[in-house]
Chains A and B, each alone.
Chain A
């Protein structure tokens, strides 16, 4: 049982390049989330999904797109990377939308945009 995995672990992009971050979970969770973590700002929600085929915007969605074609996968895309998107990205999943459910986190992807 791997839990939540993220690919890749590190990436360096040039401004304007595109990339996709992959998140996979093997816990059959309905909800999945993408966060970014910046120094002194905690974690901020980018997008989330409440089930296969659904996506919704979080607190900081601009410059990102997401897709949830399969229940176990949640993809985060950057169409035209900017230096402001340099951050550590975390994926998380939870069993349902109930408030008491914990979120399970992946190990993170460290992205640098030059």
Chain B
């Protein structure tokens, strides 16, 4: 079945450091891929998405490229800020699963000044 494997955390970085959070997936057909962010005490918010191979999603300095050949959707940011401290979830929506999402386990990021 469809699934997402996400880099385990927690991750602690200094401000302005480079961030990579790895995400790989297993799916049949052509899924859509998402990154969600959860700030403390809040619900999940969409950070970015990509709906077909080689698409790059971007938002707030974050980027992720849909790589079908490596079944990956790694999240990157060139210079993190303290305000980026949150939990990040990679998710997949299968081509034929009625928009049912499969989430990774989440990666907690803490950015220290």
Identify the A interface with B (CB < 8 A): 4, 31, 33, 40-45, 48, 50, 58, 90, 92, 94, 96-108
Contacts of B46 in A (CB 8 A): 102, 104
Asked if residues B49 and A102 are in contact (CB atoms below 8 Å), the reply is: yes
Contacts of B95 in A (CB 8 A): 99
Asked if residues B106 and A42 are in contact (CB atoms below 8 Å), the reply is: yes
Contacts of A102 in B (CB 8 A): 34, 46, 49
Extra contacts, 13 of them, besides A58-B100, A100-B51 (Cβ < 8 A), are: A43-B44, A43-B103, A50-B98, A94-B99, A99-B99, A100-B93, A101-B93, A102-B34, A104-B46, A105-B36, A106-B43, A108-B42, A108-B43
Residue B20 lies at the interface, judged by CB distance under 8 Å to chain A: no
Contacts of A100 in B (CB 8 A): 32, 49, 51, 93
Asked if residues B43 and A103 are in contact (CB atoms below 8 Å), the reply is: no
Indicate with 1 or 0, residue by residue over B92-107, a CB within 8 angstroms of chain A CB atoms.
Answer: 0111011111011110
CA distance A108 to B49 in the complex (A): 22
Identify the B interface with A (CB < 8 A): 6, 30-32, 34, 36, 42-46, 49, 51, 89, 93-95, 97-101, 103-106
Distance from A47 Cβ to chain B, minimum over Cβ atoms (Å):
11
- Closest chain B residue, CB of each to CB of A90: B43
CA distance A44 to B103 in the complex (A): 8
Distance from A90 Cβ to chain B, minimum over Cβ atoms (Å):
6
B89 interface neighbour in A43, A96, A106, Cβ under 8 Å? A43
- Closest chain B residue, CB of each to CB of A6: B43
- Closest chain B residue, CB of each to CB of A97: B98
Contacts of B89 in A (CB 8 A): 42-43
Assuming the contacts A99-B94, A102-B34, asked whether A45 and B106 have C-beta atoms less than 8 A apart, the reply is no
Assuming the contacts A42-B89, A90-B43, A90-B44, asked whether A103 and B101 have C-beta atoms less than 8 A apart, the reply is yes
12 pairs from A and B in contact (CB 8 Å cutoff)? A33-B101, A43-B89, A45-B101, A100-B93, A101-B93, A102-B34, A102-B46, A103-B101, A105-B43, A105-B45, A107-B42, A107-B43
